[in-house]
Amino acid sequence: MDQKFKCYLEIPTNHSKTIQMAVEIDDGYDEDVITKYNSQKNFLGIELETTNFRSLNKSLQSLLERTKLSYDTINFAQNESKYKNNN
């Protein structure tokens, strides 16, 4: 079974519209690397997942380039607990 690499991102709300557009444009990009995203009160959560670490890194860089965000703008989370809806 292939190992999966996951990356969870938090983007402050003031950037969320830009990121949502990028994710929608990117649907299916690079082996469905972006598996889900979730708009919360003060941040947008994005999960990137792939079996190829290089592909994950490439997708992240591409996302940052298209949205004109820098690495300092996003927070990397260790797990997805923050992204689960509490509805």
Using 50, 70 and 90 to split pLDDT, how confident is the model at 72? Answer: confident
Instruction: List, for residues 36-55, the tens digit of each pLDDT value.
Output: 556 666 666 777 777 777 77
Q: Please calculate the CA angle 52-58-64 and round it to the nearest 5 degrees.
A: 140
**pTM score > 0.85 for this model?**
no
> Mind listing the domains of the chain with CATH numbers?
5-81 (3.30.70.2520)
3-state secondary structure of 73: helix
Instruction: List, for residues 7-29, the tens digit of each pLDDT value.
Output: 777 777 666 665 665 555 554 44
Instruction: Say how far residue 81 (Cα) sits from the centre of its chain.
Output: 14
DSSP string, 15-70: GHHHHHHHHHHTTTHHHH-EEEEEE-SSEEEEEEEES-HHHHHHHHHHHHHHHT--
* pLDDT score at 15: 63
